[in-house]
Structure formats: C-alpha cells, structure tokens
C-alpha cells in the first residue's frame, strides 16, 4: 500500500525531542528507523506500531499537536526538521486510518531557530509522506536539497515522536550513504 501526501501549513512550529535514546524505547515488535541518502534523494522511515488500528485526531485543545513524527538533521551550522504533524484545527474529534490521518496533517521541512525556540517552514522543498509495510516514510527528492542537507555527511540523524496522542521519544539513527537505487 502506498499513499502520498504533501500538505503544508503556513505557521511554523518546532518539535521538541526528549533526551532518551537507544533500544529501550523500541520494543521487540518494532523495527529500527532508517535514514538513507542516495545521490538525488533522501529517505527516512519510522516503524509505526499497530498502524492498522483506528487513529483518532482533534482530541487535544485547539492549535495543540496531537501527532508528530520528526527527523532532525544537523546540516553545517543549521538544524533542520522534516516530518509530519497534526495540529488540532478545532473541527472536532475525527477518526480513521493512518493514511487518512496523513491527509489532514502537514508534512514539511523546517529550519530550526537558534536555541531551539521556534522554526520556519522551508519554501521550495517538497517532503512526501507515504505508508509502506507498517512504516511512515519521508522522501525528499531532488539533488539540491539532498546535497544541502547531507553535504557535510553527518553520521546520524535523530528520530522523534510527540504530541498529545504519542509518547515523547527521541532516537539516534546512523545515516547510510552511497547505496544505489534499484
């Protein structure tokens, strides 16, 4: 199953990750996240536990985050985050599949402000979110942004979750470089 969403929101919100790392936050049912950089594309995957369940959104207070899956990348002297989040727009509680949740949220690349207090949405780059084999997949296609984010070849990126409906987690993941696309 593959579903693609590229939805933007004009306002910028930073995701704050906790300091926990390591395998104790990933149980035996969940595979590790992955970060892969190709010549003209980068791909990040989050394993989603119980993805087939009914998902509920709009349960938090208005303008609060219900769900957030983010990848933080340190690129040169800047920190970026890419990923998906759903902020309650005040339309009431809704429920549906994970793919339906992706349709109503936002998927973007953010430039984090120094000190971690806020972020601004990066224009001119498209982050695609899809579901593949019980994983949330983020792709950035294009040489310009792949090079900009990974020119310094950072060894790792940080995967984080948060929001009122998810636990606050943070996990470092090794970046795999230079593999051929099939």
| Structural domain count of the chain | 1
With respect to residue 145, please indicate whether it lies within any of the assigned structural domains.
Answer: yes
In a domain, 19, yes or no: no
Query: Is 17 contained in some domain?
Result: no
Mean pLDDT of the chain: 83
Query: Coil, strand or helix: which one is 129?
Result: strand
Q: Which domain holds residue 125?
A: 33-177
Q: Is residue 9 part of a domain?
A: no
pLDDT in tens, 101-128: 999 999 999 999 987 788 999 999 999 9
Q: Give yes or no for residue 146 having a pLDDT over 50.
A: yes
Evaluate whether residue 1 is within a structural domain. Answer: no
Residue 157 domain-assigned (yes or no): yes
The answer to whether position 104 is within a domain reads yes
Distance separating alpha carbons of residues 64 and 8, to the nearest angstrom = 16
CATH number at residue 172: 2.60.40
| CA atoms of 59 and 42, how far apart (whole Å) | 33
Collapsing DSSP to helix, strand or coil, 26 comes out as coil
Looking at residues 78-103, what average pLDDT do you find? 95
Percent of the chain scored above 70 by pLDDT?
A: 82
Does residue 127 lie in a domain region?
yes
């Amino acid at each position: 199953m593959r579903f693609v969403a590229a939805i933007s929101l004009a306002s910028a919100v930073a995701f704050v990750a906790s300091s926990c790392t390591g395998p104790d936050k990933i149980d035996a049912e969940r595979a590790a996240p992955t970060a892969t950089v190709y010549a003209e594309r980068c791909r990040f995957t989050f394993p989603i536990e119980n993805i087939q369940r009914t998902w509920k959104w709009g349960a938090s207070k208005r303008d609060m985050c219900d769900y957030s899956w983010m990848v933080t990348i340190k690129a040169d002297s800047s920190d970026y985050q890419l990923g998906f989040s759903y902020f309650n727009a005040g339309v009431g509680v809704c429920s549906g599949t994970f793919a339906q949740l992706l349709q109503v949220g936002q998927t973007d690349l953010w430039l984090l402000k120094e000190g971690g207090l806020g972020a601004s949405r990066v224009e001119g780059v498209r982050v695609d979110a899809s579901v593949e084999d019980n994983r949330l997949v983020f792709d950035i296609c294009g040489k310009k942004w792949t090079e900009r984010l990974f020119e310094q070849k950072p060894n790792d990126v940080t995967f984080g979750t948060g929001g009122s409906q998810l636990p606050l987690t943070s996990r470092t993941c090794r970046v795999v470089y230079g593999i051929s696309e099939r």
